[in-house]
Structure 1
Amino acid sequence: MILSEKELQHFKLPIAVPGMGVSMQEKLKEARVLVVGAGGLGSPVIQYLSASGVGVIGIADYGVINDEDMPRQPIYQMQDVRKHKAKMAASRLWAVNPYTKHYPILMQVKPETIAMMLVGFDLVIDCSQHRPTHLVVNDACIVHNKPFIIGEVHNWLSWFAGFNMPQLDGGFTASYRCASEQAESYRNFDAGAIGITHGATGIQMACEAIKYIMGIQTGIAGKFYGTDYLHKQTTVLELQADNAAIESVRTAGVLTADEYGLEIVPDVED
């Protein structure tokens, strides 16, 4: 038995859901997920991964909490302003679920750090909403055979998709680079951010991640979910893998920061 008696009591209602049971809760307990970004999108993702009982959650974010971030990052409190997001997120999550290990990682995702950051994790969820970071995650996950999910929210528009996920035929689903056209169609560079659209998207991403961990193949793998919250329209697309492009990434490996257009920030002081 992987779960303690206290955990069985804590998770008794999810365990009671048809199709769940102790075995599925144990799968969640055994899972190790790296979440990149603990901001507007990452906050609901890590909150629900933790509350659902995912065993280990790495929280990679080198930023601090700002007052103007609060409407879309309700995991934090006003007393947390100017403190490190990853550290405060880990503290808040432990207070709700002490059975999950929450590891704050106060460093930037960049070519020099990404391989080390991936070690030991089964799934990566990139909530950075930053294209150069997406590309670093994409290439590193392909090189190191890690499945990953990326999402973005732009005002009323959002998208998320599952990439590099193993298939029953031995192949893998599309990469982020294969879905550039779809991602661009959901970008909206107008100023501002709405908290509720970040929360709604993050919860959907967490739900699909949990289903993937439990072995449900019909959810996130190879699918692109686009939503227009203002007009209440949702689109689901089947992504096609560009095998030549994926193989070229495997051959070239992780590129340099300049090639990704990634600005390197100074290491934070703990």
Structure 2
Amino acid sequence: MRLKDRVAIVVGAGQSPGEGIGNGRATALTFAREGAKVLCVDHNLASAQETVDMIAESHGVAAAFRADVTKNTELKGMVEDAKGRWGRIDVLHNNVGVSLAGGDAELLDISEEAFDRCVAINLKSCVWAARHVIPIMRQQRSGAIINISSMAAITTYPYVAYKATKSAMVAFTEQLAYQNAQYGIRANVILPGLMNTPMAVDTRAREFRKSRAEIEAERDSKVPLRQKMGTGWDVANAALFLASDEASFITGVTLPVDGGASVRRG
């Protein structure tokens, strides 16, 4: 019960269609299992409610909230709902992100609309979500913000908007950590590597017209550790550590969860 009596917002707590479990859903389930009350936020309310129902089956406490994260007013409403429902906010976990599903592409192929959409979802939403929780956390003199970036931020990646926004997420998290350390607020960022999630695998299978098994095999072969992708649970376990008191002296850290991919050079 490492998060007993804590209140957590997980943005992106639903998941894309496909097999397995996404990072956001796995994190919401993990936080609830460890004692947190979890506001499960997603643009797809039915998917968020599925996560809530899974938490309820294990006797956890959670509620679903629909929000279009590109709209600042809806992010404000999300924070107000959590605070009004449970009286405080201890953890903000920003898990939303799109690449191919948002129309991302290589430089000569990307449209202005797709670029703007990816920036709004991947970066702007996290900035404004933090903007709304920081006053509450400052008043509490405590809080943890966990942002999900990607190994795309520090490795080669062909699609423009995802690479740019996930790189910016690292810089923004470092700024959050430095500017709010005096208030007892911690901010850290996770860089998932190749993960076997519906967003990462099933979306690519649809986009490239390949079978899921083909995409899995291609991605598995690129992972140094056991030639096997990670899962949403690997990201969730890292997030649990960063949200817990075990990480009470850790802020401003960029944590790869990548099966060793980041140690390769050249």
TM-score by length of 1: 0.51
Aligned twin of 1:222: 252
Aligned twin of 2:128: 136
Q: 1:114 to 1:28 in 2, by over 3 A?
A: same
Aligned twin of 2:34: 52
Unmatched runs of 5 consecutive residues or more in structure 2: 16-21, 98-121, 156-165, 195-199, 205-214, 217-228
Deviation string, structure 1 residues 152-202 (Cα, Å, up to 9, x no partner): 3468979997664699973567879xx9xx98xx9xx99738773443223
Q: 1:215 to 1:115 in 2, by over 3 A?
A: farther
Q: Distance in 2 between matches of 1:215 and 1:114?
A: 29
Deviation string, structure 1 residues 43-100 (Cα, Å, up to 9, x no partner): 111111111122x110011227xxxxxxxxxxxxxxxxxxx1111110011112x1x3
1:236-251 to 2 correspondences below 5 Å: none
Aligned twin of 1:170: 182
Q: Using the TM superposition, give the Cα deviation of residue 134 of structure 1 relative to its aligned residue in structure 2, in angstroms.
A: 1.7
CA contact (8 A) 1:60 1:105 kept: yes
CA contact (8 A) 2:55 2:61 kept: no
Aligned twin of 1:37: 12
Q: Using the TM superposition, give the Cα deviation of residue 37 of structure 1 relative to its aligned residue in structure 2, in angstroms.
A: 0.5
122, 144, 148: which one aligns with 2:145: 148
Q: Distance in 2 between matches of 1:172 and 1:58?
A: 22
Aligned twin of 2:56: 94
Kindly, what percent of the aligned residue pairs are identical? 13
Q: Using the TM superposition, give the Cα deviation of residue 112 of structure 1 relative to its aligned residue in structure 2, in angstroms.
A: 0.8
Aligned twin of 1:201: 235
Q: Which moved more, 1:32-41 or 1:110-119?
A: 110-119
What is the DSSP-based 3-state SS (H/G/I as helix, E as strand, rest coil) of the residue aligned with 1:28? coil
TM-score by length of 2: 0.52
Aligned twin of 2:224: none
Q: How many residues align?
A: 175
Q: Distance in 2 between matches of 1:121 and 1:175?
A: 14
Q: Distance in 2 between matches of 1:169 and 1:89?
A: 32
CA contact (8 A) 2:38 2:62 kept: yes
CA contact (8 A) 1:155 1:197 kept: no
1:57-68 to 2 correspondences below 5 Å: 57-63=38-44
1:178-197 to 2 correspondences below 5 Å: 192=204, 196-197=230-231
Deviation string, structure 1 residues 83-120 (Cα, Å, up to 9, x no partner): x1111110011112x1x321110222331122332223
Deviation string, structure 1 residues 122-160 (Cα, Å, up to 9, x no partner): 221111122232222233334554641101346897999
